[in-house]
Structures are given as structure tokens and as C-alpha cells.
Copies of this chain bind each other. A is one copy, B any other.
Amino acid sequence: MKVRGAPAIGVSAAYGMALAALNNASLPIEALKEKLASASKLIGATRPTAVNLFWALKEMEKVWTASDDPATVVEEMVKRAQEIAAEDENMCKAIGRHGAALVPDNARILTHCNAGALATADYGTALGVIRAAFEDGKVKMVWADETRPFLQGARLTAWELHKDNIPVRLICDNMAGHFMQRGQIDMAVVGADRITANGDVANKIGTYSVAVLCKEHNIPFYVAAPYSTIDLNLHDGQDIPIEERKAEELTTMAGKRIAPEGIEVANPAFDVTPARLITAIITEKGVFRPPFDFSKVLEQK
């Protein structure tokens, strides 16, 4: 959890592979490729839910399988990692532009977790939409769910937006429904860790509850994510592995025990929001609406 946010994980994986190449630059080509293969396996095992991780590893693999000259392999891998980081910033700005067009005037926008500059190389995906809409003068304020247990909303989203002078109000995850009921939330936008071919979205635990609450209150629910987050090999969200994290994230806070000893805990890191609850998925390639067909826009480009 040192690196978090699907896009940031992809960029880190690319740099990690570039580093593995640099560290083994003096080896003969077979040994170098062996090292790269095992580094790729190791990095791939860290976060089973993050499709960007596998996308970045695949991109890097294309580079190191394309040449049998160690120096070329190393040089091209470093170049590709730098490209991936630069592409990430451009991509987030494109997501922001596409998403800002969907934001109404004087919008009071709810977000969950952190899909911001701290989760991407820069600018953010969900927060990219908010930033771009704010630049267009459309954002009245942002509601930030604190996002238990890891508090990414309190620690990261609130901090990022406050620093950028975007009005933000921090709430507990269980308060969003109350403010929807009172007519104080106009839309929700979140990131995604993985999107399946049918439009189901795996994202930080609690995202699904936000989507259900949006449906109940007729509030648009948007997902903003890089196109690379879409995993066309998975038909739907049933097949997405959900990472189960440590009990201590719930039972302790800032090193202090906040629950009794010996208590059983469940701590899934992600949940799956079914496509039917999603108003639109915003990517750098454009906006997709249900029924989701991600191949279509690809063909248009």
C-alpha cells in the first residue's frame, strides 16, 4: 500500500521494471531476460486487483522481448517507462475534459477514496474531472468521503482539494446518504481499479454503497478511469479477485487499539459496482454509456 491508485501503480510498475533492467544491465541477454521475467512476476503478485499493473508489465514485456541486445533492452525500457509516466498526465487531462462536460453548474460533487494527483502521476482521474470542472467555474463544493479503513478521502482527497482551493467538506462514509436525502449532492464521481467488458467496476470498498445510494436518489454516478483500466478479458465483476486486507486496519488507529481484542474482522479492499448502477464511464478516449461497448470507441479512433 506504499503506492496506491491504479494509474500510479501502473507507472510504478513500469519504472520498477526499468530499474530491474538497469540493475542487471551487465548480464548476458538470457540471464537478463530471466531476471526481468522474475521481476515481472514479483511485481505482478503485489496487487491482484489492479489491471493497470498488468497492462504496464505487458507494455514493458513487449519492449524486452523485442530485442536480444542487452544495452538496447535497458535503454528502451527506461524510455518506455518515462513515456508511460508522461502519457499518464495527458490521459488524466483528457479524462478531466471529457468529464467536466458532464458536470452541471454549481455542482456539489461527492467523491469516494482518492483518485487524484496522489493516485496518478498527476492531475487525477475522478479528481481530474473535478479539477477540470472547477477550472470551468462549475464546482460549488466537493463532499469527500473519509473512506475507511485507510482514510484516503480524509488524508489525500481533502488535502489535495484544499491545497488547490477547491471547497471541500469531509464526511464519514455513512453520511453521504443523509446529504443525498437532503438534496445536497448533485453527482458522484469515483475512480476504478478494474472495469470488466460489461461495464462492472471494481473500486475501493464503499463505492458500491455510494452507487446504490445514488440510484435511490436519482443522482448521476460517474466512474473516471484510464481506458487501460478496462479488462476486456473479464466478462463481468463476478470474476474479479477481491483483495482481503489485514484486520489491524480496522482494529487499530494511529497505533492505538479501537476495537476489543479477539474480535473477528472482515476487510475487503474493493467492491464491485454493477454496470446497471453506472451513469457513464469517463476515459481519455471519451465517455461510455450503458449498455457499455468498449470496442466501439476504439474503432472510432
Contacts and interface: CB of A to CB of B under 8 A. Distances in A.
Interface in A135-185: 143, 145-149, 151, 154-155, 158-159, 162, 167-179, 181
Nearest to A178: B271
Contacts of A291: none
A251 interface: yes
A216 B212 CA distance: 7
Contacts of A178: 205, 208-209, 268, 271
B158 A212 contact: no
Interface string A248-272: 0011011110111011111110011
B259 A208 contact: no
Contacts of A216: 212, 215-216
B158 A172 contact: no
Contact of A154 (B254, B259, B267): B259
A187 B255 CA distance: 34
B174 A266 contact: no
B263 A158 contact: yes
Interface residues of A, number: 52
A197 to B, nearest CB: 20
A213 interface: yes
A206 interface: yes
A178 B174 CA distance: 14
A254 B171 CA distance: 18
Nearest to A113: B174
B158 A260 contact: yes
A266 B175 CA distance: 9
Question: Which residue, of A143, A145, A162, has the highest number of chain B Cβ atoms within 10 A?
Answer: A162
Contacts of A268: 175, 178
Nearest to A169: B264
Given A147-B174, A148-B146, A216-B212, A162 B265 contact: no
Given A155-B260, A162-B260, A178-B205, 13 more contacts: A146-B259, A147-B174, A148-B174, A162-B263, A168-B264, A172-B173, A172-B205, A172-B206, A174-B206, A174-B209, A178-B209, A253-B254, A253-B256
27 contacts: A143-B266, A145-B174, A148-B148, A148-B173, A154-B251, A154-B258, A155-B258, A158-B263, A159-B260, A167-B264, A169-B265, A170-B250, A170-B264, A170-B266, A171-B267, A172-B267, A173-B173, A174-B174, A175-B206, A175-B266, A177-B206, A177-B212, A181-B208, A212-B216, A216-B216, A254-B256, A256-B256
A-B pairs with the 4 shortest C-beta distances? A174-B206, A177-B209, A254-B256, A148-B172
